[in-house]
Structure 1
Amino acid sequence: MNESTDTTSAKTFLVTGGAGFIGSAVIRELIRATPHRVVNVDKLTYAGNPESLAPIDDSERYEFRLGDICDAKVMARLFRELAPDVVMHLAAESHVDRSIDGPAAFIETNVVGTYTLLETARQYWKELKGRDPDKAAAFRFHHISTDEVYGDLHGVDDLFTECTPYAPSSPYSASKASSDHLVRAWQRTFDLPTLVTNCSNNYGPYHFPEKLIPLTILNALAGRPLPVYGDGLQVRDWLYVEDHARALIQVATEGAVGETYNIGGHNEKTNIEVVRTICALLEELAPTKPAGVAHYADLITFVSDRPGHDQRYAIDASKIQRELGWQPRETFDSGLRKTVRWFLDNEIWWRRVQNGSYQGERLGETA
């Protein structure tokens, strides 16, 4: 690990949901590329995996706290103890299919949890203004959201901008839209220094296997069907998770208070195109196939579409490029190749997720 050791401008980052896919990428990047101290607060639901933080777990600047953002007393105690300079709020239930089967958890975590965290941050910041005005002036609350709050794009040229009206289609996206509105209301009403980002579909190392890209890779390696919803022509803009992590840190440290930044990878692909590209990569990188499989693409299986499935998402990321100078480093081809290679090289990680043994790991101090 090439860890940054310059501590002259070090801040304390409180990252919620840091054992998740995007959160763990943010923490790995913070430890690798900045001098900041990072405290990860995570409830460790099924999608939280401490093993995703193994590359930085021995850093003196990293600390894990087991905690629930819905617990106001625990959050208040953490803020008093840790005195964060930046809050990066990533803790969320995030799988659309699960939100259809059980919406209640999404309302609790994404709406009630965000409200609880906002109120905790507001009280902390209010008290901070009285005793340390400079620290209070530099404090930031960064809320990480999704492009799914915008709903559906039916044309082939339209893009989601920061001014696109909200039109969520699923319980998941509705709960995230609610949390976005809460954050903006706390900024407008209470002057809490907040920022919001909305991102396109992420992919990359440590991706939980229920999502399209890792599910396709692992099912193919096992010779299982590769399920594709409907006709597979739904379009998504794909963003490599390490590019996203860099963008989030840049927004948290350089973004303008009260602003929203859309983050996308400029990689619009249909779902069937993604699945077929993965199959082609596996033909090259994993040519020895499971018994009875002649070609990975033969495993593609079209299944009934899910309710309310949005047809197209696409992000206009020109604002963050123009104002903060961020742009993705990975193309879809380069990022997907890295992703497939990572899953081929890290069988222990995904096997432990598949068999559930990763959930036996509950590292760090309880908040």
Structure 2
Amino acid sequence: MMKRLLVTGGAGFIGSNFVRYVVQAHPAVHVTVLDKLTYAGNRANLAGLPAERVRLVVGDVCDAQLVDRLVQQTDAVVHYAAESHNDNSLIDPAPFIQTNIVGTYTLLQACRQYGVRYHQISTDEVYGDLPLNNEAKFTPTSPYQPSSPYSASKASADMLVRAWVRSFGLRATISNCSNNYGPYQYVEKFIPRQITNILSGRRPKLYGSGANVRDWIYTADHSRAVWDILTRGTLGETYLIGANGEHSNREVLGMILRLMDQPADAFDWVRDRPGHDRRYAIDATKLRTELGWRPQYRDFEQGLRQTIAWYRDHRAWWQGSKATVEAKYAQHHQ
């Protein structure tokens, strides 16, 4: 029984949703969150959680002494901490190399030394992209073909995990998940950016032709999948997490505009970013058949409606960072 978890990046979007899931669904588990509290990490993401169940340690996954001390005190590590925004990696790749590769190495070494179970949170972006208007999907055996400094750094981290499993017998698993959406997502990301643009009186923005397709999953479903893999997954294996939620960026923006009572053309086209992947799609058959996982949020529009309501009801959470994000986009992308 895993009673002590170390969750890196647990004050970020996907990590904090996982922490909240564990607290709610597994009352015997104590969580230590290690988070650097960069721009995307936020103490408020953990607000309201009981102090006797959740401890926040502010620090860097590249700090070997700190990581060593925390890993000694835990039964398992779930590694969410990452620089994760493609646009930022095109401007300055250095933080991605440091956090995503060196940070993973630091954790792996500590887990190896103390025999601690390790789970790597990865992304479907390590596989590159797929053709549009095609039935192909990523599987656990798809070759890695990353397109950006971000996805290359995550691919590198995954390879380190596989090497530590084979060379040192590390008890580890990897999950590669499709695009998450839901509460607590930082406003630079596609869905919350469009929602908060409308809520703050700005026009939404759409890259290129808007034809790029993403496979969307509500973040609560991701959290349940990670727990299933951590507790019942086969060591050394990779599991893909997806909810068959493929939609083009144009379709997603169209839904947001309609759900927020905006005209269908109330947005601006902007220049596409370099190396923009065309399509992601996940085949989660292995996760479904081996572990019996199923997404609970199967209606994308319903999940989107809940997400819009969350941002509408939590303006104080995002308003402070909105102007900074938009100024950065204006400088680099328009």
TM-score (norm 1): 0.85
In the aligned structure 2, how far is the partner of 1:22 from the partner of 1:215? Answer: 16
Per-residue CA distance 1:24-58 (angstroms, 9 max, x = gap): 000000000002110000111110011011131x2
Q: Aligned partner of 1:309: which letter?
A: H
Aligned counterpart for 1:342 among listed residues 310, 314, 318? 310
Match of 1:73 in 2: 65
Give the match's secondary structure for 2:40. Answer: coil
In the aligned structure 2, how far is the partner of 1:208 from the partner of 1:217? Answer: 12
Aligned counterpart for 1:299 among listed residues 255, 262, 266? 266
Q: How many residue pairs are counted as aligned between the two chains?
A: 321
List runs of 5+ in structure 1 lacking aligned partners. 1-8, 126-138, 284-294, 357-367
Larger mean CA deviation between 342-351 and 17-26 belongs to 342-351
Match of 1:147 in 2: 124
Match of 1:101 in 2: 91
In the aligned structure 1, how far is the partner of 2:2 from the partner of 2:244? Answer: 32
Aligned counterpart for 2:13 among listed residues 10, 21, 42? 21
Per-residue CA distance 1:140-193 (angstroms, 9 max, x = gap): 200000000000101510000000000000000000000000001000100000
In the aligned structure 1, how far is the partner of 2:166 from the partner of 2:100? Answer: 20
Match of 1:181 in 2: 159
Question: Per-residue deviation at 1:222?
Answer: 2.1
Q: How many percent identity over aligned positions?
A: 53
Give the match's secondary structure for 1:216. Answer: helix
TM-score (norm 2): 0.94
Aligned pairs (5 A) from 1:117-128: 117-125=107-115
CA RMSD of aligned residues (A): 1.2
Which structure has the larger Rg over C-alpha atoms? 1
Give the match's secondary structure for 1:70. Answer: coil
In the aligned structure 2, how far is the partner of 1:76 from the partner of 1:140? Answer: 14
Question: Per-residue deviation at 1:297?
Answer: 3.4
Question: Per-residue deviation at 1:10?
Answer: 5.5
Give the match's secondary structure for 1:73. Answer: helix
Give the match's secondary structure for 2:108. Answer: helix
Q: Is the 8 A contact 2:221 2:296 kept in 1?
A: yes
Give the match's secondary structure for 1:261. Answer: strand
Q: Aligned partner of 2:315: which letter?
A: E
Q: Aligned partner of 1:257: which letter?
A: L
1:112 lines up with 2:102 in the alignment: yes
Runs of 4+ with deviation above 2 angstroms: 295-299, 352-356
Aligned counterpart for 2:41 among listed residues 27, 43, 48? 48
Q: Aligned partner of 2:260: which letter?
A: L
In the aligned structure 2, how far is the partner of 1:265 from the partner of 1:51? Answer: 28
Match of 2:171 in 1: 193
Q: Aligned partner of 1:237: which letter?
A: D
Match of 2:77 in 1: 87
Match of 2:4 in 1: 12
Aligned pairs (5 A) from 1:217-366: 217-283=195-261, 295-330=262-297, 331-354=299-322
List runs of 5+ in structure 2 lacking aligned partners. 325-334
Per-residue CA distance 1:230-273 (angstroms, 9 max, x = gap): 10000000000011111111111111100100001211000010
Q: Aligned partner of 1:78: which letter?
A: L
Larger mean CA deviation between 336-345 and 163-172 belongs to 336-345
